[in-house]
Amino acid sequence: MRLETVAVIGGGAWGTALAQAAAMAGRQVTLVVRTQEQAEAINATRINAAALPGQALLPNVRAVPALDAADIVILAVPAQSTRTLLSGLEPALLADRPVVLSAKGLETGTLARQSEVLADMAPDAMPFVLSGPSFAVDVASGRPTAVTLAGDDASDTSDLAAALAGPSFRPYAADDRIGVEIAGALKNVYALACGAVEGADLGASARAALIARGYAEMARMVTAMGGSAHTLTGLAGLGDLTLTCTSVQSRNYQFGMALGAGRSTADILASGAKLAEGVATAPVAAALARSLGVEAPLIDAVDAVVAGKANIATIVAGLMSRPLKREA
């Protein structure tokens, strides 16, 4: 497998950071943005000002307005945009090469994981999933970061991890795509909840309880979907849950803080909130849990708050009065 050139599609914070990481790894990188003007501005200034202001891009990153042939394709658009994006791409540019899915979310309507969307739209692509505790600004600026890279073939996954690894970016190869994708999607839902705990001033003890019970719920979901609960001990599970559920830097956490302070989803969105994938994923995860027969009171709680069907006080009272049970 040739792994020299990389195309990253999506000129937002994460696409720009992954382009920079691949460049640090020594690859020749194209960053596929939406317009010629955007590409020219990035190439002229060496900065993607709209996405990661202040971060100079390495010389081996070149912005382009359309996908051209590359050995590795990385998708870095929001989860709800992946299908539309794929529908506009030439199938030959995705066939028989690694396509790395980096969005963290479940698709509205279909309940699909990102690699299921890819299988629908580009069945000849080789799917890989990249997830883990990694803020774009940290990755782009060369702060130490470790992530999980899951793929179906152990040798191909190790080769791809090696091609993307740099001095400050360390992908660990794994084989449980389902576990990694569900972990990445659900941690955003729990981050909304943890942010709400902070916004409603419920205390650090409540937040820690939520993280632990969220982890247990996530394990039930992953197992029911056919993934391995063991995956959750790793970077994509515990790692990202810890990061996103405890950091005000997280956009999902910030959105949750606003919900906890009593604002409505519509109001937060109307005030120009940054992308918070958990908002779209919460109802999908709730529907998925119902369809699998998995008990998921925390996902249901977030879904209800995001939809404006319950306020935080009612939700907390409901969760605290559930029948007592054994922890395991």
Ligand X SMILES: NC(=O)C1=CN([C@@H]2O[C@H](COP(=O)(O)OP(=O)(O)OC[C@H]3O[C@@H](n4cnc5c(N)ncnc54)[C@H](O)[C@@H]3O)[C@@H](O)[C@H]2O)C=CC1
- Catalytic site includes residue 274: no
Binds ligand 13P by CB under 6 A, chosen from 72, 243, 257, 284: 243
Q: Which does 250 bind (CB under 5 to 8 A by kind): ligand 13P, ligand X, none?
A: ligand 13P
Instruction: Report d(CA 49, CA 47) in Å as an integer.
Output: 5
Q: Say whether 155 counts as a known binding-site residue.
A: no
Q: Is 250 annotated as a binding residue?
A: yes
50: tokens are 């709209």
325 annotated as a binding-site residue:
no
Q: Where are the alpha helices (DSSP H) in 226-250?
A: 240-246
Residue 75 in the binding site for ligand X (CB under 6 A): no
- Annotate 9-49 with DSSP letters as a single string: E--SHHHHHHHHHHHHTT-EEEEE-S-HHHHHHHHHHSB-T
* Window contacting ligand 13P (CB under 6 A); options: 70-78, 119-127, 237-245, 318-326: 237-245
Query: What's the closest the beta carbon of residue 153 comes to ligand X, in angstroms?
Result: 24
Which residues does 287 contact at the CB level (< 8 Å), separation at least 6? 111
Residues across the chain: 328
DSSP state of 104: -
Among the listed residues 290, 190, 182, 276, the one whose alpha carbon sits nearest the alpha carbon of residue 236: 182
Q: Enumerate the H helices of the chain as residue ranges.
A: 13-24, 36-45, 82-87, 114-121, 136-140, 154-164, 177-199, 204-225, 240-246, 251-260, 265-270, 277-292, 297-306, 312-320
Q: Is 191 in the site for ligand 13P (CB under 6 A)?
A: yes
Binding to ligand X (CB under 6 A) within 104-163 occurs at 104-105, 134-136
From residue 101 to residue 140, the character string flagging contacts with ligand 13P as x (rule: CB under 6 A) and all else as - is ---x----------------------------xxx-----
Instruction: Output the six-digit token pair for 327.
Output: 């922890």
- Phi/psi region, residue 201 (left: phi>0; alpha: psi -120 to 50; beta: rest), is left
Could you say which of 38, 114, 244, 281 contacts ligand 13P (CB under 6 A)?
A: 244
Contact 312, 259 (CB under 8 A): yes
Site string for ligand 13P, 138-177 (x = CB under 6 A): ----------------------------------------
Pairing relationship of beta strands 126-131 and 145-151 according to DSSP bridges: antiparallel
Do residues 281 and 256 lie in contact, with contact meaning Cβ atoms separated by under 8 Å? no
**Whose CA is closest to 85, among 111, 103, 61, 110?**
103
Give the number of residues in contact with ligand X, rule: CB under 6 A: 24
Q: Is 250 in the site for ligand 13P (CB under 6 A)?
A: yes
Q: Does 5 bind ligand X (CB under 6 A)?
A: no
Q: What part of residues 265-304 is at the interface with ligand X (CB under 6 A)?
A: 275, 277
74 binds ligand X (CB under 6 A): no
Q: How far is the CB of 116 from ligand X (least distance, A)?
A: 15
134 annotated to bind ligand: yes
Is 177 within any annotated ligand binding site? no
CB atoms under 10 Å from CB of 124, counted, come to 12
The reply to whether 187 sits in an annotated binding site is yes
How far apart (Å, rounded) are the C-alpha atoms in residues 255 and 324? Answer: 30
By a kind-dependent CB cut-off of 5 to 8 A, residue 117 interacts, out of ligand X, ligand 13P, none, with none
Nearer to ligand 13P, 135 or 169 (CB): 135
Annotated binding site: 14, 34, 104, 132, 134, 136, 187, 240, 250-252, 275, 277
Q: Which residues in this chain contact ligand X in the complex, by CB under 6 A?
A: 10-15, 34, 51, 76-79, 81, 84-85, 102-105, 134-136, 275, 277
Binding residues for NADPH: 14, 34, 104, 136, 251, 275, 277
Catalytic residues: 187
> Which residues contact ligand 13P (rule: CB under 6 A)?
104, 133-135, 188, 191, 240, 243-244, 250-252, 277
